[in-house]
Structure 1
Amino acid sequence: MVDSLKSTEEKSTISIPYESPTIEQLEDILHGGQLSCNHVDEVWPNLFLGDMYMSHDRYGLWRLGVTHVLNAAHGKMCCKGSDDFYGTTVKYYGVAANDLPTFDISHFFYPSAQYIHQTLSTAGAKIFVHCAVGVSRSAALVLAYLMIFHNYTLVDAILKVKEKRWIFPNRGFLKQLIALDSTLKSKSQTEKPTQDDL
Protein backbone atom coordinates (compact mmCIF):
# COMPACT_ATOMS: atom_id res chain seq x y z
CA MET A 1 0.00 0.00 0.00
CA VAL A 2 2.81 2.39 0.95
CA ASP A 3 4.72 1.45 -2.22
CA SER A 4 1.70 2.09 -4.44
CA LEU A 5 1.10 5.43 -2.71
CA LYS A 6 4.76 6.33 -3.21
CA SER A 7 4.64 5.48 -6.91
CA THR A 8 1.50 7.64 -7.31
CA GLU A 9 3.28 10.56 -5.65
CA GLU A 10 6.32 10.07 -7.88
CA LYS A 11 4.11 10.07 -10.97
CA SER A 12 2.44 13.32 -9.93
CA THR A 13 5.79 15.10 -9.61
CA ILE A 14 7.00 14.04 -13.08
CA SER A 15 6.62 17.04 -15.35
CA ILE A 16 5.52 16.45 -18.92
CA PRO A 17 7.46 18.60 -21.36
CA TYR A 18 5.36 21.40 -22.87
CA GLU A 19 4.51 20.99 -26.54
CA SER A 20 3.57 24.04 -28.56
CA PRO A 21 0.49 23.69 -30.78
CA THR A 22 0.66 23.15 -34.54
CA ILE A 23 -0.45 25.78 -37.04
CA GLU A 24 -3.50 23.62 -37.87
CA GLN A 25 -4.51 23.43 -34.19
CA LEU A 26 -4.17 27.21 -33.87
CA GLU A 27 -6.23 27.82 -37.00
CA ASP A 28 -9.00 25.60 -35.59
CA ILE A 29 -9.03 27.77 -32.46
CA LEU A 30 -8.91 30.98 -34.49
CA HIS A 31 -11.85 29.88 -36.68
CA GLY A 32 -14.02 29.35 -33.59
CA GLY A 33 -15.87 31.88 -31.49
CA GLN A 34 -17.10 35.25 -32.65
CA LEU A 35 -16.22 36.00 -36.26
CA SER A 36 -16.68 39.75 -36.24
CA CYS A 37 -14.79 42.66 -34.78
CA ASN A 38 -15.29 46.37 -34.33
CA HIS A 39 -12.98 49.17 -35.39
CA VAL A 40 -11.56 48.90 -31.87
CA ASP A 41 -11.91 46.43 -28.99
CA GLU A 42 -10.38 46.49 -25.51
CA VAL A 43 -8.69 43.06 -25.36
CA TRP A 44 -6.75 43.60 -22.12
CA PRO A 45 -7.17 46.29 -19.46
CA ASN A 46 -6.25 49.62 -21.13
CA LEU A 47 -5.01 47.80 -24.28
CA PHE A 48 -7.10 48.40 -27.39
CA LEU A 49 -6.72 46.46 -30.63
CA GLY A 50 -8.13 47.85 -33.84
CA ASP A 51 -7.90 48.90 -37.47
CA MET A 52 -6.72 51.80 -39.61
CA TYR A 53 -10.15 53.43 -39.57
CA MET A 54 -9.89 53.90 -35.81
CA SER A 55 -6.24 54.97 -36.11
CA HIS A 56 -7.39 57.96 -38.18
CA ASP A 57 -10.11 58.90 -35.68
CA ARG A 58 -8.21 61.17 -33.29
CA TYR A 59 -11.41 62.26 -31.55
CA GLY A 60 -12.48 58.64 -31.05
CA LEU A 61 -9.08 57.77 -29.57
CA TRP A 62 -9.26 60.81 -27.32
CA ARG A 63 -12.71 59.68 -26.09
CA LEU A 64 -11.23 56.26 -25.24
CA GLY A 65 -8.45 57.99 -23.30
CA VAL A 66 -5.69 56.60 -25.54
CA THR A 67 -2.27 58.03 -24.65
CA HIS A 68 -0.08 55.75 -26.81
CA VAL A 69 -0.38 54.28 -30.30
CA LEU A 70 1.53 51.31 -31.70
CA ASN A 71 1.10 51.10 -35.46
CA ALA A 72 2.10 47.65 -36.78
CA ALA A 73 1.71 48.86 -40.38
CA HIS A 74 3.91 51.96 -40.09
CA GLY A 75 4.71 53.57 -43.41
CA LYS A 76 2.12 51.64 -45.42
CA MET A 77 -0.17 53.62 -47.71
CA CYS A 78 -3.28 53.00 -45.59
CA CYS A 79 -1.65 53.47 -42.19
CA LYS A 80 0.54 56.53 -42.30
CA GLY A 81 0.88 57.32 -38.64
CA SER A 82 3.41 59.64 -37.05
CA ASP A 83 4.05 61.81 -34.02
CA ASP A 84 2.90 64.81 -36.08
CA PHE A 85 -0.47 63.20 -36.82
CA TYR A 86 -1.30 62.53 -33.16
CA GLY A 87 0.22 65.68 -31.73
CA THR A 88 1.76 66.11 -28.31
CA THR A 89 -0.97 64.32 -26.33
CA VAL A 90 -0.29 60.85 -27.78
CA LYS A 91 3.03 59.02 -27.97
CA TYR A 92 3.57 57.09 -31.21
CA TYR A 93 5.55 53.93 -31.98
CA GLY A 94 5.75 52.59 -35.53
CA VAL A 95 6.53 49.03 -36.64
CA ALA A 96 7.01 48.72 -40.40
CA ALA A 97 5.62 45.20 -40.82
CA ASN A 98 4.17 43.62 -43.95
CA ASP A 99 1.20 41.25 -43.61
CA LEU A 100 2.92 38.47 -45.53
CA PRO A 101 3.69 34.94 -44.30
CA THR A 102 7.29 35.46 -45.44
CA PHE A 103 7.76 38.61 -43.33
CA ASP A 104 9.76 38.14 -40.11
CA ILE A 105 7.69 39.96 -37.51
CA SER A 106 9.50 38.15 -34.67
CA HIS A 107 12.17 40.91 -34.61
CA PHE A 108 9.43 43.19 -33.28
CA PHE A 109 8.02 40.85 -30.60
CA TYR A 110 10.25 41.99 -27.73
CA PRO A 111 10.54 45.74 -28.56
CA SER A 112 6.76 46.00 -29.08
CA ALA A 113 5.99 43.99 -25.95
CA GLN A 114 8.35 46.26 -24.00
CA TYR A 115 6.62 49.37 -25.38
CA ILE A 116 3.17 48.01 -24.46
CA HIS A 117 4.40 46.95 -21.02
CA GLN A 118 6.00 50.33 -20.26
CA THR A 119 2.83 52.09 -21.37
CA LEU A 120 0.53 49.95 -19.25
CA SER A 121 2.88 50.36 -16.27
CA THR A 122 2.26 54.12 -16.41
CA ALA A 123 -0.65 55.34 -14.33
CA GLY A 124 -3.59 56.45 -16.48
CA ALA A 125 -2.01 55.33 -19.76
CA LYS A 126 -3.94 53.48 -22.46
CA ILE A 127 -2.54 52.04 -25.68
CA PHE A 128 -4.11 51.47 -29.09
CA VAL A 129 -2.37 48.79 -31.17
CA HIS A 130 -3.42 48.60 -34.80
CA CYS A 131 -2.56 47.66 -38.37
CA ALA A 132 -4.81 47.84 -41.45
CA VAL A 133 -7.56 45.49 -40.28
CA GLY A 134 -6.45 44.74 -36.72
CA VAL A 135 -6.42 40.94 -36.99
CA SER A 136 -2.95 39.87 -38.16
CA ARG A 137 0.10 42.12 -37.61
CA SER A 138 -1.19 44.02 -34.59
CA ALA A 139 -2.79 40.87 -33.16
CA ALA A 140 0.52 39.00 -33.41
CA LEU A 141 2.26 41.75 -31.42
CA VAL A 142 -0.46 41.77 -28.74
CA LEU A 143 -0.23 37.97 -28.43
CA ALA A 144 3.55 38.23 -28.06
CA TYR A 145 3.07 40.82 -25.29
CA LEU A 146 0.74 38.53 -23.33
CA MET A 147 3.18 35.66 -23.73
CA ILE A 148 6.32 37.61 -22.79
CA PHE A 149 5.01 39.72 -19.91
CA HIS A 150 2.09 37.66 -18.58
CA ASN A 151 3.43 34.12 -19.11
CA TYR A 152 0.48 33.10 -21.25
CA THR A 153 0.89 30.12 -23.56
CA LEU A 154 0.16 30.98 -27.18
CA VAL A 155 -3.18 29.15 -27.01
CA ASP A 156 -4.18 30.95 -23.79
CA ALA A 157 -3.17 34.32 -25.26
CA ILE A 158 -5.30 33.66 -28.36
CA LEU A 159 -8.27 32.60 -26.25
CA LYS A 160 -7.89 35.70 -24.06
CA VAL A 161 -7.89 38.11 -27.01
CA LYS A 162 -10.72 36.19 -28.73
CA GLU A 163 -12.95 36.86 -25.72
CA LYS A 164 -13.16 40.42 -27.06
CA ARG A 165 -12.09 40.37 -30.72
CA TRP A 166 -11.80 38.07 -33.72
CA ILE A 167 -8.16 37.76 -34.82
CA PHE A 168 -6.34 35.72 -37.45
CA PRO A 169 -2.56 36.22 -37.79
CA ASN A 170 -1.23 34.83 -41.07
CA ARG A 171 0.48 31.42 -41.15
CA GLY A 172 3.98 32.86 -41.13
CA PHE A 173 3.22 34.92 -38.01
CA LEU A 174 1.64 31.87 -36.35
CA LYS A 175 4.80 29.89 -37.04
CA GLN A 176 6.91 32.65 -35.45
CA LEU A 177 4.56 32.82 -32.45
CA ILE A 178 4.85 29.03 -32.05
CA ALA A 179 8.66 29.43 -31.97
CA LEU A 180 8.29 32.16 -29.30
CA ASP A 181 5.89 29.95 -27.33
CA SER A 182 8.36 27.06 -27.41
CA THR A 183 11.30 29.27 -26.39
CA LEU A 184 9.41 30.87 -23.49
CA LYS A 185 8.09 27.54 -22.19
CA SER A 186 11.46 25.77 -22.34
CA LYS A 187 13.02 28.76 -20.58
CA SER A 188 10.38 28.73 -17.82
CA GLN A 189 10.78 24.97 -17.33
CA THR A 190 14.55 25.26 -16.88
CA GLU A 191 14.06 28.13 -14.42
CA LYS A 192 11.58 26.26 -12.18
CA PRO A 193 12.83 25.94 -8.58
CA THR A 194 14.05 22.51 -7.52
CA GLN A 195 13.18 20.84 -4.19
CA ASP A 196 16.52 22.11 -2.80
CA ASP A 197 15.57 25.72 -3.66
CA LEU A 198 12.35 25.53 -1.64
Structure 2
Amino acid sequence: MSSEEESADQTPPTCSLLGLLLKNRRPTGAVNEVWPDLFIGNAATARDKTLLQNLGITHVVNAADGPQHIDTGPHFYRDANIQYHGVEAVDCKGFDLSPFFSETADFIYAALSQKGKVLVHCARGISRSAALVLAFLMIKAGLTLVEAVKVVSRSRNILPNIGFLNQLRQLDSILALERKKDLTNADGERCG
Protein backbone atom coordinates (compact mmCIF):
# COMPACT_ATOMS: atom_id res chain seq x y z
CA MET A 1 0.00 0.00 0.00
CA SER A 2 1.42 3.38 -0.94
CA SER A 3 1.77 6.10 1.69
CA GLU A 4 -0.92 8.09 -0.19
CA GLU A 5 -3.39 5.18 0.07
CA GLU A 6 -2.47 4.67 3.71
CA SER A 7 -3.04 8.35 4.60
CA ALA A 8 -6.36 8.28 2.73
CA ASP A 9 -7.39 5.40 5.02
CA GLN A 10 -6.52 7.29 8.19
CA THR A 11 -9.12 9.33 10.00
CA PRO A 12 -8.07 12.99 9.95
CA PRO A 13 -7.63 14.94 13.17
CA THR A 14 -10.59 16.94 14.46
CA CYS A 15 -9.01 20.26 13.44
CA SER A 16 -8.77 19.08 9.81
CA LEU A 17 -12.42 17.99 9.88
CA LEU A 18 -13.44 21.38 11.26
CA GLY A 19 -11.50 23.07 8.45
CA LEU A 20 -13.31 20.90 5.90
CA LEU A 21 -16.71 21.66 7.48
CA LEU A 22 -16.07 25.42 7.51
CA LYS A 23 -14.73 25.54 3.93
CA ASN A 24 -16.91 26.87 1.08
CA ARG A 25 -19.91 27.67 3.26
CA ARG A 26 -22.85 29.37 1.60
CA PRO A 27 -26.44 30.04 2.61
CA THR A 28 -28.56 26.90 2.86
CA GLY A 29 -32.28 26.61 3.39
CA ALA A 30 -34.36 25.10 6.14
CA VAL A 31 -34.19 21.71 4.40
CA ASN A 32 -31.76 20.28 1.85
CA GLU A 33 -31.47 17.00 -0.02
CA VAL A 34 -27.95 15.81 0.85
CA TRP A 35 -28.09 12.30 -0.70
CA PRO A 36 -30.70 10.88 -3.07
CA ASP A 37 -34.02 10.97 -1.16
CA LEU A 38 -32.28 11.88 2.11
CA PHE A 39 -32.86 15.34 3.56
CA ILE A 40 -31.52 17.27 6.54
CA GLY A 41 -33.72 19.97 8.01
CA ASN A 42 -34.64 21.98 11.06
CA ALA A 43 -37.51 21.73 13.56
CA ALA A 44 -39.78 24.08 11.58
CA THR A 45 -39.46 21.82 8.54
CA ALA A 46 -40.30 18.76 10.62
CA ARG A 47 -43.49 20.41 11.92
CA ASP A 48 -44.66 21.56 8.45
CA LYS A 49 -46.65 18.54 7.26
CA THR A 50 -47.66 20.29 4.03
CA LEU A 51 -44.01 20.87 3.14
CA LEU A 52 -43.16 17.28 4.05
CA GLN A 53 -45.93 16.00 1.78
CA ASN A 54 -44.75 18.31 -1.03
CA LEU A 55 -41.24 16.90 -0.64
CA GLY A 56 -42.63 13.35 -0.63
CA ILE A 57 -41.21 12.58 2.83
CA THR A 58 -42.27 9.12 4.02
CA HIS A 59 -39.97 8.78 7.05
CA VAL A 60 -38.76 11.20 9.73
CA VAL A 61 -35.79 10.84 12.06
CA ASN A 62 -36.01 13.29 14.96
CA ALA A 63 -32.53 13.64 16.46
CA ALA A 64 -33.93 15.92 19.19
CA ASP A 65 -36.81 13.72 20.34
CA GLY A 66 -38.47 14.02 23.72
CA PRO A 67 -40.60 16.30 25.88
CA GLN A 68 -37.68 18.64 26.64
CA HIS A 69 -36.80 19.00 22.95
CA ILE A 70 -38.87 18.61 19.78
CA ASP A 71 -41.74 16.51 21.01
CA THR A 72 -43.43 15.42 17.80
CA GLY A 73 -43.35 11.63 17.97
CA PRO A 74 -45.20 9.12 15.78
CA HIS A 75 -48.61 10.49 16.81
CA PHE A 76 -47.79 13.86 15.19
CA TYR A 77 -47.29 12.22 11.78
CA ARG A 78 -50.06 9.62 11.94
CA ASP A 79 -52.43 11.56 9.63
CA ALA A 80 -49.56 12.22 7.18
CA ASN A 81 -48.69 8.51 6.84
CA ILE A 82 -45.08 9.17 7.85
CA GLN A 83 -43.02 6.60 9.76
CA TYR A 84 -41.11 8.01 12.71
CA HIS A 85 -37.83 7.25 14.46
CA GLY A 86 -36.87 9.28 17.51
CA VAL A 87 -33.43 9.78 19.02
CA GLU A 88 -33.45 11.58 22.36
CA ALA A 89 -30.13 13.40 21.95
CA VAL A 90 -28.72 16.54 23.51
CA ASP A 91 -26.47 18.78 21.40
CA CYS A 92 -23.52 18.92 23.77
CA LYS A 93 -20.01 17.53 23.37
CA GLY A 94 -20.43 15.19 26.35
CA PHE A 95 -23.48 13.39 24.92
CA ASP A 96 -22.73 9.96 23.42
CA LEU A 97 -24.62 9.82 20.13
CA SER A 98 -22.71 6.75 18.89
CA PRO A 99 -25.14 4.14 20.32
CA PHE A 100 -27.73 5.56 17.90
CA PHE A 101 -25.55 5.42 14.76
CA SER A 102 -26.38 1.85 13.68
CA GLU A 103 -30.08 1.81 14.57
CA THR A 104 -30.65 5.13 12.80
CA ALA A 105 -28.62 4.01 9.78
CA ASP A 106 -30.75 0.85 9.63
CA PHE A 107 -33.98 2.92 9.75
CA ILE A 108 -32.78 5.26 6.97
CA TYR A 109 -31.50 2.38 4.85
CA ALA A 110 -34.78 0.46 5.17
CA ALA A 111 -36.76 3.57 4.22
CA LEU A 112 -34.61 4.29 1.16
CA SER A 113 -34.73 0.62 0.15
CA GLN A 114 -38.54 0.89 0.08
CA LYS A 115 -38.24 3.91 -2.27
CA GLY A 116 -39.07 6.23 0.63
CA LYS A 117 -37.80 9.73 1.30
CA VAL A 118 -36.29 10.53 4.69
CA LEU A 119 -36.03 13.76 6.64
CA VAL A 120 -33.45 13.75 9.43
CA HIS A 121 -33.83 16.78 11.66
CA CYS A 122 -32.91 18.34 14.96
CA ALA A 123 -33.45 21.91 16.15
CA ARG A 124 -31.39 23.65 13.44
CA GLY A 125 -30.33 20.76 11.21
CA ILE A 126 -26.64 21.36 11.80
CA SER A 127 -25.21 19.10 14.52
CA ARG A 128 -27.24 16.09 15.76
CA SER A 129 -29.05 15.38 12.49
CA ALA A 130 -25.87 15.93 10.47
CA ALA A 131 -23.91 13.52 12.67
CA LEU A 132 -26.55 10.81 12.19
CA VAL A 133 -26.59 11.32 8.41
CA LEU A 134 -22.78 11.20 8.26
CA ALA A 135 -22.87 7.95 10.25
CA PHE A 136 -25.46 6.52 7.83
CA LEU A 137 -23.29 7.37 4.83
CA MET A 138 -20.29 5.75 6.48
CA ILE A 139 -22.09 2.60 7.68
CA LYS A 140 -24.44 1.92 4.76
CA ALA A 141 -22.87 3.70 1.75
CA GLY A 142 -19.29 2.76 2.64
CA LEU A 143 -17.99 6.34 2.60
CA THR A 144 -15.14 7.51 4.77
CA LEU A 145 -15.87 10.35 7.17
CA VAL A 146 -14.12 12.84 4.87
CA GLU A 147 -16.09 11.60 1.84
CA ALA A 148 -19.37 11.82 3.79
CA VAL A 149 -18.59 15.36 4.98
CA LYS A 150 -17.82 16.44 1.41
CA VAL A 151 -21.04 14.90 0.06
CA VAL A 152 -23.28 16.52 2.67
CA SER A 153 -21.45 19.86 2.64
CA ARG A 154 -22.10 20.24 -1.09
CA SER A 155 -25.79 20.74 -0.28
CA ARG A 156 -25.95 21.97 3.32
CA ASN A 157 -23.83 23.77 5.90
CA ILE A 158 -23.34 21.37 8.79
CA LEU A 159 -21.24 21.52 11.92
CA PRO A 160 -21.58 18.58 14.34
CA ASN A 161 -20.29 19.50 17.78
CA ILE A 162 -16.77 18.44 18.73
CA GLY A 163 -17.96 15.43 20.75
CA PHE A 164 -20.00 14.11 17.81
CA LEU A 165 -17.06 14.69 15.46
CA ASN A 166 -14.82 12.62 17.72
CA GLN A 167 -17.45 9.85 17.85
CA LEU A 168 -17.63 9.92 14.04
CA ARG A 169 -13.82 9.76 13.87
CA GLN A 170 -13.93 6.66 16.07
CA LEU A 171 -16.58 5.11 13.80
CA ASP A 172 -14.44 5.96 10.77
CA SER A 173 -11.45 4.16 12.31
CA ILE A 174 -13.53 1.08 13.18
CA LEU A 175 -15.02 0.90 9.68
CA ALA A 176 -11.58 1.35 8.07
CA LEU A 177 -10.26 -1.58 10.11
CA GLU A 178 -13.26 -3.69 9.07
CA ARG A 179 -12.69 -2.83 5.40
CA LYS A 180 -9.02 -3.81 5.70
CA LYS A 181 -9.96 -7.08 7.39
CA ASP A 182 -12.56 -7.81 4.69
CA LEU A 183 -9.97 -7.14 1.96
CA THR A 184 -7.46 -9.38 3.68
CA ASN A 185 -10.04 -12.17 4.02
CA ALA A 186 -11.10 -11.78 0.38
CA ASP A 187 -7.48 -11.94 -0.77
CA GLY A 188 -6.90 -15.02 1.39
CA GLU A 189 -9.95 -16.77 0.01
CA ARG A 190 -8.89 -16.14 -3.59
CA CYS A 191 -5.41 -17.46 -2.92
CA GLY A 192 -6.54 -20.44 -0.85
Normalised TM-score (structure 1):
0.89
Say whether 1:117 aligns with 2:120.
no
SS of 2:101's partner is helix
Deviation, structure 1 residue 34: 2.2
Corresponding residue number in structure 2 for 1:180: 171
Gaps of 5+ in 2: none
Q: Flag structure 1 segments of 5+ consecutive residues without an equivalent.
A: 1-10
- 2:64 aligns to what SS in structure 1? coil
| Residue-by-residue CA offset, 1:17-45 (whole Å, 9 max, x unaligned) | 72111100000001111243211000011
Residue 187 of structure 2 is aligned to residue 197 of structure 1: no
The answer to whether residue 25 in structure 2 is matched with residue 34 in structure 1 is: yes
C-alpha distance in 2, partners of 1:197/1:178? 32
Aligned to 1:129: 120
Bigger CA drift: 35-44 or 163-172?
35-44
Q: Which residue does 2:54 correspond to in 1?
A: 63
> Aligned residue for 2:6?
16
Match of residue 8 from structure 1: none
- Work out the CA distance in 2 between the residues paired with 1:108 and 1:61: 24
| Alpha-carbon separation, structure 1, partners of 2:134 and 2:67 | 22
Q: 2:92 aligns with which of 93, 100, 111?
A: 100
The aligned counterpart of 1:3 is none
Secondary structure at 1:191 match in 2: helix
Deviations 1:63-98 (A, max 9, x none): 101011000000154511111111141111100000
Query: Which of 139, 156, 178 is the matching residue for 1:165?
Result: 156
1:104-145 alpha-carbon deviations (Å, 9 max, x no partner): 00000000000000000003x111100000010000000000
Q: Which residue of 1 aligns with 2:34?
A: 43
Of 33-42 and 95-104, the range deviating more from structure 2 = 33-42
Instruction: Tell me the equivalent position of 2:147.
Output: 156
- Larger-Rg structure: 1
Q: Quick one: which amino acid aligns to residue 154 of structure 1? A: L
Question: What is the percent sequence identity of the aligned residues?
Answer: 40
- Indicate conservation of the 8 Å contact 1:52/1:78, yes or no: no
Match of 2:134 in 1: 143
User: Would the aligned equivalents of 1:46 and 1:120 in 2 still touch at CA under 8 Å?
Assistant: yes
TM-score, scaled to structure 2: 0.92
Equivalenced residues, count: 187
- Residue 80 of structure 1 aligns with which residue? 71
For residues 154 and 35 of structure 1, what CA distance do their matches in structure 2 show? 21
Aligned partner of residue 194 in structure 1, secondary structure: helix
Per-residue deviation, residues 142-196 of structure 1 (Å, max 9, x unmatched): 0000000111000000000011000000000000000000000011001102266
Q: Flag the 1:76–1:24 CA change in 2: closer, same or farther, 3 A.
A: farther
Q: CA RMSD in A?
A: 1.9
Given that residues 135 and 168 in structure 1 are in contact (C-alpha distance below 8 angstroms), is that contact kept between their aligned partners in structure 2?
yes
